[in-house]
A and B are shown apart, each in its own frame.
Chain A
Amino acid sequence: MGLKSVQNGLVPTRFMCMLAHMVMLISLLIRRNEYVGSCDTVLYQNVNLLNNQFIIGLSISIGILAIELVTFITGITLFNTFQSLISTFLHSSAAISLSIMVFFKWCSVDFWYIFGFCSCIPFIFEIIFLIGIWLFKRTIN
């Protein structure tokens, strides 16, 4: 009974965290000039290159998140408790750190830490579970 209600709560929690991450990423993409402009001009002299790198990072991040949302909504990892916990934790921390990035106008280079820890790790776990389910015919739970 208790475990069942926890599992039912995990699904919307994970979904909301992924959506919050998505909203933050899109809002960064719309106003990316502010974060490219706040970089140290002595360290990073080529602003154009920085801008392109930031666009690429944000687009890959949005794409990865979209793939994760699709595998989540189609039910492949919908009731996987471990993946839900990892995904909730990392995506919520991504949303919080991206909002700190908005408030304090971080340099766009610092985005790559958030990308590595909070976008790539849940995606890698998602892919591992996908391979496990499709190739090795593991059960969904």
Chain B
Amino acid sequence: MAADLSVRSSLPLQILLYLNQWYYIFWLIVESLSFVFKGQTLPFASGVLAGEIILFIFLFLLDMFRIHFATKGNLTERIIGIIVSIVLTLPCIGGSLYLLLWQHYVLRIELIINAIQLVFIALEVILEIIAIIVFARSNA
């Protein structure tokens, strides 16, 4: 038992998740302001703007859940939390790509902040896979 006291949680993953939470608050503010701007100045077909706003709010909640599961899984050294977070990553990537490419109007600022968010997600997925490998080895 004495040899089993070492910490296997990944510190870089934890730092990245902590900073990503703060980044999402920044992202939420910028994205909602850009929706206000688009709603005030650009013509929309009925329902398009409402659909995009609902999508972006759900994307924010989904991202928060993803980060929460990854944090808990990393800190308690459980594989299942990290797997749930990787599964939740797929719709998050889809939503970010929608806001980045296939939206009705894509502003320049949205292009940049969503690209930064995708970089974050990619780094986190890599570190999460490494964390899964480390936890699985130590359990075996």
Contact = CB atoms under 8 A, between A and B. Distances in A.
A16 B18 CA distance: 12
Interface stretch (B38-46, B70-78, B107-115): B107-115
Nearest to B22: A12
The 5 closest A-B pairs by CB, nearest first: A12-B22, A26-B112, A23-B112, A15-B19, A27-B108
B91 interface: no
Interface of B: 11-12, 15-16, 18-19, 22-23, 26, 108-109, 111-113, 116
A26 B18 CA distance: 24
Contact of B116 (A16, A23, A73, A74): A23
Given A73-B15, A78-B15, A27 B22 contact: no
A23 B109 contact: yes
A109 B46 CA distance: 45
Contacts of A11: 19
A32 to B, nearest CB: 12
Given A22-B116, A23-B116, A75 B15 contact: yes
Contacts of B112: 23, 26-27, 30
Interface of A: 11-12, 15-16, 19-20, 22-23, 26-27, 30-31, 73-75, 78
B26 A16 contact: yes
Nearest to B27: A19
Nearest to A30: B108
Contacts of B23: 15-16, 19
- Most A-side CB within 10 Å, residue of B18, B23, B112: B112
Given A16-B26, A23-B113, A73 B16 contact: yes
A26 B111 CA distance: 10
14 contacts: A11-B19, A12-B18, A15-B19, A16-B22, A16-B26, A19-B23, A23-B109, A23-B113, A30-B112, A73-B12, A73-B15, A73-B16, A75-B11, A78-B15
Contact of A15 (B11, B12, B22): B22
Given A15-B19, A16-B22, A23-B116, A74 B109 contact: no
Contacts of A74: 12
Contacts of B18: 12
